[in-house]
Structure 1
Amino acid sequence: MTREEKAKVIEDITGHLAEAPSIYLADISGLNAGTTSDLRRACFKADVKLMVVKNTLLAKAMESSDKEFGELPSILKGNTSILLSQTGNAPAKVIKNFRKKIDKPILKGAFVDEAIYVGDDYLDTLVNIKSKEEVIGDIVSLLQSPAKNVISALKSGGSKLSGILETLSEKPE
């Protein structure tokens, strides 16, 4: 690979790192072609971009990026794949679901909304991170709940009140 080609690849990787708020680093070594294809398909369905990159080029792209990756460049050993997503927990869910069949991919580290996670131990934590849309949905349902209770009470109270008035009006004096 020529120096110009390497510079182009680094620039391309840097662009991907800048666009994605969630960046996962995983080891998918040892997967055969069919299994790798299944992983790519699972990533595509979950709107996760999977890229296999050279560690040196990824390290240089991380250096030239505006984001602070902390200790993530230090874990770039062996085979490394990048999983990029707009949703914080989508790559973790893909990895966890895929590992029901086999023991790969192994999570090396993740950069999710400015937070850094190093090691496969954080996979369950990352799966449980709620996306922005999920948090907004929870807030909206919490805000709607009291209003629904008030409306329900008024409806039931109104029918009770009208029933009482009707009974009283029919009562002989």
Structure 2
Amino acid sequence: MTKEQKSKVIEDLTAQLAASNVVYIADISGLNAETTSNLRRACFKEGIKLEVVKNTLLEKAMENVENNYSDLPSILKGNTAILIAENGNAPAKVIKEFRKKSDKPVLKGAYIHEAVFIGDNQLDALVSLKSKEEVIGEIIGILQSPAKNVISALKSGGSTIAGLVKTLSER
């Protein structure tokens, strides 16, 4: 690879990293062509971009981005693939589902909205993360609940209030 090609790859990686707040780093070495193709298809269905990268080029791209990747460059050893997504838990779900059939991919680390997760043992925690849409839905549900309770109490309480007023007036 020539110096110009390397600088072009670093430039592309830098642009991808700068545009995304969700980056997973995984090891997919040892997967045959068919299995790798199936993994790529699964990622594509979920809107995840999977790309195999050279560690040194990824490290330089991470240095060029303003995001604080903390200790992530230290895990760049061996074969490395990056998974870039919009949804914070989508790559973790794909990895977990894919590992039901195979022992790969192995999660090396992840960067999700300024939080850094290192190690394959973090996979379950990453799967349980809620997406932005799920959190918004829960908040709306929580906000609607008291209003629904008040409205239903007022609707059913019309006869109760009348009864209460009548009882109080009789006393």
Q: TM-score under structure 1 normalisation? A: 0.89
Partner of 2:87: 87
Offset at 1:22? 0.6
Q: How does 1:108-119 map to 2 (within 5 A)?
A: 108-119=108-119
Aligned length: 164
Aligned with 1:66: secondary structure? coil
CA distance in 2, matches of 1:25, 1:152: 50
Confirm or deny that 1:7 pairs with 2:7.
yes
Partner of 2:105: 105
CA distance in 1, matches of 2:32, 2:153: 61
Letter aligned with residue 62 of structure 1: M
Hey, which bits of structure 1, 4+ residues long, moved more than 6 A?
none
Offset at 1:145? 0.6
Partner of 1:169: none
Q: How does 1:14-33 map to 2 (within 5 A)?
A: 14-33=14-33
Kept in 2, the 8 Å contact 1:21–1:87? The answer is no
Q: How does 1:30-49 map to 2 (within 5 A)?
A: 30-49=30-49
Q: Structure 1: which 5+ runs fail to align? A: 166-173
Kept in 2, the 8 Å contact 1:20–1:84? The answer is yes
Letter aligned with residue 106 of structure 2: I
Q: 129-138 vs 153-162, which deviates more?
A: 153-162
CA distance in 2, matches of 1:155, 1:35: 59
Q: How does 1:126-145 map to 2 (within 5 A)?
A: 126-145=126-145
1:147-173 Cα offsets, whole Å, 9 max, x none, are 1112222222336678xx8xxxxxxxx
Aligned with 2:25: secondary structure? strand
Confirm or deny that 1:78 pairs with 2:78.
yes
Indicate the percent of aligned positions where both proteins have the same amino acid: 67
- Mark the structure with the bigger radius of gyration: 1
Partner of 1:67: 67
Offset at 1:86? 1.3
Cα RMSD of the aligned pairs, angstroms, is 1.6
Letter aligned with residue 69 of structure 2: F
Offset at 1:64? 1.3
